Amino acid sequence: MNCASVEKEEHIATVTLNNPPANVLSAACIAELRSIFQELGRDEGTRAIILTGKGRFFAAGADIKEFVPKLGEREQGLSLAEGGQKLCDEIESMKKPVIAAINGPALGGGLELALGCHFRMIAEEAAVGLPELKLGLIPAFGGTQRLSRLTDTATALDLILTGRTVSAHEAVKLGIAQCAVKEEDLLETAAGVAQSFVEGKSMTSVMRAVECIIEGGKESLEQGLERERQRFAELFLTADAKEGIQAFIEKRKPNFIHS
């Protein structure tokens, strides 16, 4: 059974979770999503990606029913956590911008999935939360780490220890999402943002910028600056840099070949 679909329009791919009724992230869904993002990463025709959900939910988290037969086995716990972490890590490590369009509740692993994306927008009616402690567990798809980095330690402790649900506007205020829009405008707005990230730009520079921001954020300042210098020097060798600079001098639009 397919848990997600992919549609492409004008170099923008939209990945839609479709595992009714709540778009839970079963092991099969996680594997399918990993495969989808790996393929989109290789696809030269895809320049930006939108991740959203079909129906009322963005994603209600991991499939808790799958946990039951695995309880009491440490290796099973490690495997479950590793599967979700690898998916979120792969999304975060994409060199093409990935936008989470949170159309409905994003809870537990669903929020962690959105946190792995580079940019998050949320429908005004949606809400987010990490309720794992109420199950005697902790967030394990990267939530304890990404939430504290996106917000701060105190906010991460508040949301994870209380397990409370946060409204769309509070999510924006806390820095979990970048903007809140009406649900009916969500995908159109996400597409506009995706286009603004890549339109009129060389993908050789877009991909290196994303890499420097995401990977450099995991490094020391000195390491991040070294990465930035190296990628800048690499771009100096590209046809697109030559075209972009010449177009600027000639006051015309560049004709990038993305190489």
| Residues with a known catalytic role | 112, 132
C-alpha to C-alpha distance for 130 and 256, rounded to whole angstroms: 43
Cα dihedral 202→208→210→211 (10° resolution): 160
C-alpha to C-alpha distance for 164 and 251, rounded to whole angstroms: 53
> Positive or negative, the Cα torsion across 162, 167, 168, 169?
negative
Q: Examine residue 21 and say whether the peptide bond preceding it is cis (omega within 30 degrees of 0).
A: yes
Find the length of the chain.
Answer: 259
Spell out a b/e string for 224-250, using b for 16 or more CB atoms within 10 Å of the CB, else e: beebbeebeeebeebebbebbeeeeee
Give the phi and the psi of residue 248 in degrees, each rounded to 5: -60, -45
Q: Identify whether the C-beta of residue 240 lies closer than 8 Å to the C-beta of residue 204.
A: yes
Q: Could you give the 3-state DSSP secondary structure of residue 120?
A: strand
| Two structure tokens written together for 134 | 């109420």
C-alpha to C-alpha distance for 137 and 108, rounded to whole angstroms: 11
